[in-house]
Amino acid sequence: MCPITKSAKKALRQSKKRRARNIQKKKIIKKSLKEIKKIVSEKKNEEAKKLLPQVYKLLDKAAKTGLIKKNTAARKKSRITKLIHEGTVSKSQQ
């Protein structure tokens, strides 16, 4: 269905722009999480620790603007930190 009223047309334009922006931001978040996981799998934990604040910032901003829910951001931050920490611990035990 196509919008008929002027306000509905504007709302559709806004919605399309927001959707495109949200998809782009989600891609950036996913890409950065994958990058950290890849770095950890290569046993480069110091490098991963340096990227951690950037990922935290992305997740916090996404939660603040409503792109993702607050608990989702917290869960992702927790899991990525745990992953890095486990890699560091296993490295020091060897």
Tens-place pLDDT, residues 21-60: 999 999 999 999 999 999 999 988 889 999 999 999 999 9
14, 18, 68, 74, 87 from 11: Cα distances, Å: 5, 10, 22, 32, 48
| Helices and strands (DSSP H and E) totals, the chain | 3, 0
pLDDT score recorded for residue 92: 61
State the total domains in the chain: 1
Name the residue range of residue 65's domain. Answer: 43-94
The answer to whether position 9 is within a domain reads no
pTM for this predicted structure = 0.83
Look at residue 45 in the predicted model and tell me its pLDDT: 87
pLDDT at 13 > cutoff 70:
yes
Residue 21 lies in a domain: no
